[in-house]
């Protein structure tokens, strides 16, 4: 079964930590229960397998209320298996998951679900089955589906509307308050209704007992993709890979004479071993933004760059894009590579599974949407 890369934006697999405003609801999973995802908004964990069926309930616990909801079920046998992937949380409120159904004697199926942690309502969309192959992304309160012929928004409240129709419609992605998509060689965009990020309402929650990668009394900042980021009471922030349990001090990796200012920063799990760390730091030259890609298997920095005018980031898989004032760049092993210059804003990255699996980088140049195929020799598309 194809496994689409997540459309990763700062609103999804990232958490910006705010000072605690009060006592958080206790969402601690029981000892031995597998935790798939955790941030300031939600904890997602798997309950123990049922004695008869062997199925595992996937449960989401809201940090705001402590209310637990079953959002999916995992199962596995010789004829049928169901696996669940957590893509992240949109606007601190909507949990995005993907269920993959594998059958011995029929076509595999992949379905996306957006679950409202506040109202417990949900919406689903199929991205793959016998008759369907589509790109799906999540926006606040809805799933957006591009099947090559139409671009449709399906709302949690039950509504559905067609945003565009034509040919070669694919690769929807979200950058700030813009929804992007492609139609043939051109990029298009439409404004999104922006909701306040509910993460600001969720105070931090400290662990009460020791766990893998988590000593007692630490604040969990992010747990995703097998990586854990946590903060101690003295402000020390560490990252850890569950597979090896290697603890890495995130201040130490920034280098001599460099120290963070303000909140701990923003973290994105790029995969099962690499973490993107975005932070404002103070250097001998003054305040500046900094991006670091850290390999938690080795504890080494793979890529890093200081960005004085850092205004936005986006990532998908191993691709990291950022804006430095009016310059759009990629963070690569050899350093930064500038792609475009102008009135740059609203950047987004996605991977399309409709046909060629190309990776697309979107941005707005003033009011003009543009895109680059990162797997092509030269990009440029606009409409």
pLDDT tens track for 9-37: 333 444 433 333 344 456 767 877 888 99
The strand pairing partners of 177, in sequence order, are none
Higher pLDDT, 184 or 140: 140
32 HSE (CA, 13 A, CB side): 3
Q: Report the C-alpha dihedral over residues 275, 206, 113, 134, rounded to 10 degrees.
A: -10
Long-range contacts of 264-267 (CB under 8 A, 24+ apart): 264/17, 264/221, 264/231, 264/235, 264/237, 265/16, 265/17, 265/237, 266/10, 266/14, 266/15, 266/16, 266/313, 267/14, 267/15, 267/221, 267/222, 267/229, 267/239
| pLDDT higher than 90, residue 52 | no
Please state the separation of Cα 343 from the chain's center in Å: 26
Range in 36-50, 288-302, 365-379 the model is least confident about: 365-379
Can you say whether the dihedral through the CA atoms of 177, 196, 203, 137 is positive or negative?
negative
* pLDDT tens per residue, range 222-277: 899 889 999 888 888 999 998 888 899 998 888 888 888 877 888 999 988 999 99
Number of H helices, E strands in the chain: 0, 33
pTM of the full structure: 0.85
As a whole-number percent, the residues of the chain with pLDDT over 90 amount to 45
The two three-digit tokens of residue 364, written as one number: 């707005």
Alpha-carbon distance 195 to 198, whole Å?
Answer: 8
d(Cα 352, Cα 338) in Å, to the nearest integer? 23
- Strands 344-351 and 359-365, by their bridges, are antiparallel
* Mean pLDDT, the chain, whole residue set: 83
Pairing of strands 227-231, 219-224: antiparallel
First to last CA, the chain: 34
State yes or no: pLDDT of 114 exceeds 60.
Answer: yes
253 φ, ψ (degrees, to nearest 5): -75, -15
Q: Are strands 56-62 and 259-260 parallel, antiparallel or unpaired?
A: unpaired
The DSSP letter of residue 39 is: -
Tell me what the mean pLDDT of segment 150-155 comes to.
96
Quick one: DSSP state of residue 47? P
Where residue 146 falls among pLDDT bands split at 50, 70, 90?
very high
pLDDT band at 311 (very low <50, low <70, confident <90, very high): confident
Instruction: Please give, one letter per residue, the 3-state secondary structure of 194-207.
Output: CCCCHHHHCCCCEC
CA 251/CA 116 separation, integer angstroms:
35
């Amino acid at each position: 079964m194809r496994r689409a890369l997540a459309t990763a934006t700062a609103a999804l697999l990232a958490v910006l930590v705010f000072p605690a405003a009060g006592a958080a609801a206790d969402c601690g999973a029981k000892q031995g229960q597998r935790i798939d995802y955790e941030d300031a908004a939600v904890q997602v964990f798997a309950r123990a397998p049922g004695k008869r069926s062997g199925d595992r309930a996937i449960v989401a616990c809201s940090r705001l209320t402590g209310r637990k909801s079953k959002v999916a079920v995992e199962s596995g046998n010789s004829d049928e298996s169901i696996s669940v992937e957590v893509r992240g949380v949109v606007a601190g409120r909507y949990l995005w998951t993907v269920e993959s159904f594998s059958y011995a004697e029929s076509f595999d199926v992949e379905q996306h679900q957006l679950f409202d942690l506040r109202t417990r309502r949900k919406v689903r969309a199929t991205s793959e089955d016998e008759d369907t192959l589509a790109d799906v992304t999540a926006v606040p309160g809805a799933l957006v589906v591009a099947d090559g012929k139409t671009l449709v928004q399906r709302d949690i409240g039950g509504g559905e509307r067609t945003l565009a129709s034509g040919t070669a419609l694919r690769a929807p992605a979200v950058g700030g308050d813009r929804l992007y998509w492609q139609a043939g060689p051109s990029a298009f965009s439409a404004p999104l209704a922006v909701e306040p990020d509910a993460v600001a309402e969720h105070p931090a929650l400290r662990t009460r007992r020791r766990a893998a990668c988590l000593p007692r009394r630490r604040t969990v900042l992010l747990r995703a993709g097998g990586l854990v980021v946590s903060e101690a009471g003295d402000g020390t922030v560490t990252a850890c890979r569950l597979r090896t349990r290697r603890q890495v001090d995130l201040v130490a990796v920034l280098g001599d004479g460099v120290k963070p200012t303000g909140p701990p920063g923003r973290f994105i799990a790029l995969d099962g071993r690499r973490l993107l760390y975005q932070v404002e730091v103070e250097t001998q030259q003054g305040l500046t933004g900094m991006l670091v890609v850290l390999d938690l298997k080795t504890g080494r920095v793979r890529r890093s760059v200081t960005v004085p005018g850092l205004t936005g980031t986006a990532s998908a898989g191993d691709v990291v894009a950022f804006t430095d004032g009016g310059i759009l760049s990629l963070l690569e092993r050899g350093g930064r590579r500038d792609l475009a210059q102008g009135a740059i804003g609203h950047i987004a990255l996605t991977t399309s599974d409709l046909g060629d699996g190309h990776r697309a980088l979107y941005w707005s140049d003033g009011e003009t949407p543009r895109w680059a195929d990162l797997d092509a020799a030269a990009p440029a598309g606009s409409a």
